[in-house]
Amino acid sequence: MASESKRIVALREEIARHDHRYYVLDDPEVPDAEYDRLMRELRELETRHPKLVSADSPTQRVSGVATREFGVVEHRVPMLSLDNAFSDEDIENFDRRVRERLELGEGARLEYNSEPKLDGLAISLTYEDGVFSVGATRGDGLKGEDVTPNLRTLRSVPLKLRGRGHPRLVEVRGEVFMTDAGFEQMNRDALAGGDKVFVNPRNAAAGSLRQLDPAVTAGRPLEIFFYGVGAIEGGTLPPRHSELLSMLREWGLRTCPEIRVTTGVEGLLGYYRDIGARRATLGYQIDGVVYKVDSLVRQRELGFVARAPRWAIAHKFPAEEEMTQVRDIEWQVGRTGALTPVARLEPVFVGGVTVSNATLHNVDELTRKDVRIGDTVIIRRAGDVIPEIVRVIAERRPRGTKVVALPKACPVCGSDVSRIEGEAVARCTGGLVCAAQRKESLKHFASRRAMDVEGLGDKVVEQLVDAQLVESAADLYLLTAAQLSELERMGEKSAAKLVAAIAKSKNTTFARFLFALGIPNVGEATALSLAEHFGELTVLQDASLEQIMAVPDIGPVVAQDIREFFDEPRNKKIVSQFLARGVNWPAPASGRSEHQPLAGKTFVLTGTLPNLGRADAEALIRKAGGKVTSSVTKKTSFVLAGESAGSKLERAQQLNVPIISEEQLRLLVKAFD
* pLDDT 10s digits, 239-270: 999 999 999 999 989 999 999 999 999 999 99
pLDDT of amino acid 215: 83
Query: What span, in angstroms and rounded, lies between the C-alpha atoms of 531 and 511?
Result: 5
Which CATH number does 510-580 carry?
1.10.150.20
Q: For residue 607, what are the CA distances in angstroms to 369, 550, 642? A: 34, 28, 4
Write the single-letter amino acid at 201: P
Query: What span, in angstroms and rounded, lies between the C-alpha atoms of 229 and 241?
Result: 10
pLDDT tens, residue by residue, 377-436 = 999 876 556 788 988 999 999 999 999 999 999 998 888 898 877 777 888 887 767 889
Whether 572 is catalytic is no
Domain range annotation of the chain: 2-60, 84-316, 321-418, 431-504, 510-580, 593-668
Percent of residues in the chain assigned helix, strand, coil, to nearest 5:
40, 20, 40
H or E element that contains 438: helix 435-446
Q: For residue 511, what are the CA distances in angstroms to 91, 500, 539, 541, 596? A: 51, 22, 14, 14, 20
pLDDT of amino acid 56: 66
pLDDT of amino acid 261: 97
- Long-range (24+ apart) CB contacts under 8 A made by 228-231 are 228/172, 228/173, 229/170, 229/171, 229/172, 229/173, 230/75, 230/76, 230/77, 230/79, 230/124, 230/171, 230/172, 230/173, 231/75, 231/76, 231/77, 231/126, 231/169, 231/170, 231/171
Query: What span, in angstroms and rounded, lies between the C-alpha atoms of 459 and 439?
Result: 10
Question: How does DSSP classify residue 433?
Answer: G
What is the homologous superfamily of the domain 2-60 according to CATH?
Helix hairpin bin (1.10.287.610)
Selection from 351, 283, 280 nearest residue 317 by Cα: 351
Phi, psi angle pair for 550, to nearest 5°: -75, -10
- Angle among Cα 95, 98, 99 to the nearest 5 degrees reads 85
The answer to whether 644 and 625 have CB atoms below 8 angstroms apart is: no
Which CATH number does 321-418 carry?
2.40.50.140
Which CATH number does 84-316 carry?
3.30.470.30
Helix/strand/coil (H, E, C) string of 387-404? CEEEEECHHHCCCCCCCC
pLDDT of amino acid 648: 83
Beta strands in 476-550 (DSSP E): none
Q: Which residues contact 138 (CB under 8 A, 6 or more apart)?
A: 62, 64, 79, 121, 122, 123, 124, 144
Half-sphere exposure of 206 (CA within 13 A, CB side): 24
Asked if the 593-668 domain carries CATH number 3.40.1190.20, the reply is: no
Strand 286-293 versus strand 111-118 pairing type = antiparallel
Q: Which residues contact 431 (CB under 8 A, 6 or more apart)?
A: 337, 437, 570
The CATH architecture assigned to 431-504 reads Orthogonal Bundle (1.10)
Query: What span, in angstroms and rounded, lies between the C-alpha atoms of 433 and 410?
Result: 11
Q: Which residues contact 68 (CB under 8 A, 6 or more apart)?
A: none
431-504 matches 510-580 in fold: yes
pLDDT of amino acid 592: 46
In the set 6, 51, 117, 623, the catalytic residue is 117
| DSSP one-letter string for 420-431 | -TT-S--EETTG
pLDDT of amino acid 63: 44
Selection from 613, 610, 614, 649 nearest residue 631 by Cα: 649
Query: What span, in angstroms and rounded, lies between the C-alpha atoms of 144 and 124?
Result: 9
Q: Which residues of the chain have pLDDT under 50?
A: 24, 61-67, 591-594, 672-673
